[in-house]
Structure 1
Amino acid sequence: MRVLHVITGLGIGGAEQQLRLLLRHLPTDHDVVTLTNPGAVAAGIAADGVRVRHLGMTGNRDLAALPRLTGLIGRGRYDLVHTHLYRACVYGRFAARLAGVRAVVATEHSLGARQIEGRPLSAGARALYLAGERLGSATVAVSDTVARRLERWGVRHDRIHVVPNGIEAARFGYDETARRATRERLGLPPDAFVVGGVGRLTRGKRFDTLVRAVADLPGARLLLVGEGPERDALLSVARRRGAADRLVLTGACEDPPSAPSALSLPALLSAMDVFVSPSPDEAFGLAVVEALAAGLPVLHVTCPALHDLPTQAAPGARQISGSVPELTAELRDHQQRFAAGRQERLPAPRAAHHYDIAHSAERLMAVYTIATRGASDRS
């Protein structure tokens, strides 16, 4: 089966890195086209042996990109087009149909309760999304929570398939050697209590609450993995709280890294002692699952990946409201246990193994089979 994956961009982000991981496990002949930003993940996918092409789209209203994408799809003789992220879903569905490809699958990676891909939801965005959705064969939701949101938006239940995000759980096992090396490289004392977070540094992720909470814990360090427009604002909060020297911002982390010298996400998680996800609006919560696979105790405000499973699937995870006083109190308790030598690494819970990327790839192949069979029946 020849499949073309169309994605809005290939900078370092959750959906982008999830696509790279899926491609490693899908038994298809596949190419990738990115509408914009052929960044680090594009280089990683190419290093994995997959052809990546950049469409050179200049903005959301660059309608000249539509015939370019249509021609590319037509020349490639693809059996199926799979789109990822909002802009790619809109343009990719229309282009696939214009090129004569009737099997079109779209994954909705980032539909939150009040935002899509970090932007506020609007009636116009919803109307355009639904107009394109009717041209496709199936819509993939990354969690049951997202599936319910899609239904409320107006997507038919029988067109929605849940294919959860996945991880290679074995890669995230705790590594004492990596912990020491990573802390030394980042200037973190070997005996420091380190709070960690992973994600884009945007206002919606609410990492500012985490900065404020850690600032109130003498001696604690905060290790944030990610890049984004709120970076300077977070540094400013840390300076005002007198904790600038206890905040470490690593920038974005490509995982797995293409450069041998780059820090991997498993190594960074090994350097942490507790993981916090303060975001109140998530589509899945992949970073939480990765942290659990690394054996970390986790505090989270919301995580659909865990909400969709029984509580006992992730005993090391605790849901909190996300207020600064509550977060400070929770972290102080972890810090005290750490100081007393009572905070040990946990075994990877059932939740981490449930979200195995190989299983996700199998479920996605089942969606591909349904989509191509349906396209053949209609032709």
Structure 2
Amino acid sequence: MAGPQNELPTVSSVTLVLPERNDRVKADEDKLRVAYMVRTFNVGGLERCIARLANYLDRERFEPMVICLRKSGSAADWLERDDVPILELNQRDGNDPFALRRLAQMLREQRVDIVHSHNWGTLVETAIARSWADVPAHVHTEHGQGLHAEQKGLKKKLRTTVERWAFDRASQIVICAESVRPLIHRRNGFPKERMLFIPNGVEDPAQVPVAVPPAELRQQLGIPADAIVVGSLGRLAEVKGFATAVEAVAMLREREQNVHLVLVGDGPEEQNLRSLAGQLGIAAYVHLPGRQSQVADWLRMFDVYVNSSRSEAMSMGILEAMAAGIPILATDVGDNRLLVDGAPACGLVTPAGNASSMAAQLERFVNDSPLRASFGVAGRDRYLQHYSIATMASQHAELYLHHSSGVAPELAAAAQ
């Protein structure tokens, strides 16, 4: 390859020699090439966010791509356009000393202007390869609260030190939840003011055609037309606290309230939840239809959305409920209060793990139809203003454009 040579640092016994960046010729000087980094492009919340960004970025200004450190996966089906290439690095398990070299070469060959990594899984590789390939900007997003939770002792300290090293070299650290800001600061000392809050966006269920009408779903589950349906979306895992919701509904049934609970999702707690419902004598009123690909129809059936999580960053389920105009009852964890307890409020907040409090708040919804309606309207309005995919994509576009020009962005807060 012709042109002046630049010898770059040695990492894992690999010395990478690449031409200077100014030897590259962009195919279209008016567009920025954005590379989204993942380990594998399998189904998950992080991958859903990447697919949404890639789908909605303005093609007049951006050319998105997805780079998988290992392999692609079923999340590729979420890409709605055929102009988003998916590149695979095929990184081997364990020690793969040449992976960084291949990644840097890939970034150079693709003439990437902005590389966007997500969570710990792609942070360090991206930070190193970006510097080797002379990519102008590196945006890194933290999606949740659980980073390094499984690590202890020296291993945790080492990982946290490396994380801070990579954070300091990124152009921008983005957080999807305000509750993550103090956690990161306590963990590695990264300044709170240098983190930029851009919340995730979700699809508008009003734009999704009805596949199965709510009345038909009720009939399939054996739920009477006059019953109040309390519903939730999510993985049936212990951290989601669905046992508290089951216990709260049992209390309401004891008070002769006509309430049914529908939990859409699958996971390791499914059998435990079924057993708990049976022990409490409400098996006929707790419905676990499993994982559903078309959640918009299920949202239309819910009268109240419940988030019972013990730990949360920013709940995608709450955002989807807001988009559907459903009143919300949420535990006071993570960003839940920020989402539902605004002005005007679109729901109520209850302590995590407190079935009695949850039952009392649910009873307010059951007995107050105007309250449900007003919260639903407020939630829908807040979604349209702050949490649509178009808003999320627009905020990221502004971020990319600012960093491509070397000017730090000042985005407005997503929710006040």
What are the ranges of 5 or more consecutive residues in structure 2 without an aligned counterpart? 1-31, 408-416
1:96–1:230 CA distance, 2 compared to 1 (3 A): farther
Give the one of 66, 70, 90 matched to 2:124. Answer: 90
Cα separation, partners in 2 of 1:197 and 1:242, compared to 1, 3 Å: same
Match of 2:165 in 1: 131
Q: Is the aligned partner of 1:297 residue 2:327?
A: yes
Return the match for 2:348 from 318, 322, 337. Answer: 318
Partner SS, residue 214 of structure 2: helix
Q: Does 1:362 pair with 2:397?
A: no
The answer for the alignment partner of 1:16 in structure 2 is 47
Cα deviation for residue 106 of structure 1 reads 0.7
Offset at residue 156 of structure 1 (A): 3.2
Structure number with greater Rg is: 2
1:222 deviates by 2.0
What is the total number of aligned residue pairs between the two structures? Answer: 361
SS of the residue 1:191 aligns to: coil
Give 3-state SS (helix, strand or coil) of 1:78's partner: coil
In the other structure, the counterpart of 1:279 is 309
Q: Does 1:327 align with 2:350?
A: no
Residues 216, 42 of structure 1: alpha-carbon distance in 2 compared, 3 angstrom cutoff:
farther
Please show how residues 218-297 of structure 1 align to structure 2 within 5 Å: 218=253, 220-253=259-292, 262-263=293-294, 265-297=295-327
Equivalent position SS for 1:227: coil
Q: Are 1:182 and 2:217 an aligned pair? A: yes
Q: CA RMSD in A?
A: 3.5
**Paired AA for residue 129 in structure 1:** E
- Runs of 5+ consecutive residues of structure 1 not aligned to the other structure: 254-261
Counterpart CA distance in 2 for 1:182 and 1:214 is 20
Change (3 A) 1:234 1:365: same
Query: Matches of 2:224 and 2:116 in 1, distance apart?
Result: 46
Map 1:21-170 to 2 at 5 A. Answer: 21-27=52-58, 28-35=62-69, 38-45=72-79, 49-56=83-90, 65-111=99-145, 115-116=146-147, 122-152=156-186, 153-157=188-192, 159-169=194-204
SS at match of 1:83: strand
Quote the offset at 1:47 in angstroms.
5.8
Shift of 1:299: 0.9
- The C-alpha deviation readout for 1:166-195, integer Å capped at 9, x for no partner, is 234463799797322433455544333221
Match of 2:240 in 1: 205
Amino acid at match of 1:81: V
Residue deviations 1:192-240 (CA, integer Å, cap 9, x gap): 3221112233222222211222234435322222333333333333333
User: Is 1:6 matched with 2:37?
Assistant: yes
Alpha carbons 1:94, 1:135 under 8 Å: kept? no
TM-score normalised by structure 1 residue count: 0.80
Task: Say if 1:183 and 1:189, in contact at 8 Å, map to a contact too.
Answer: yes
AA aligned to 2:103 is: L
Specify whether residues 311 and 223 from structure 1 end up closer, same or farther in structure 2 by C-alpha distance, changes over 3 A only: closer
User: Percent identity, aligned pairs only?
Assistant: 29
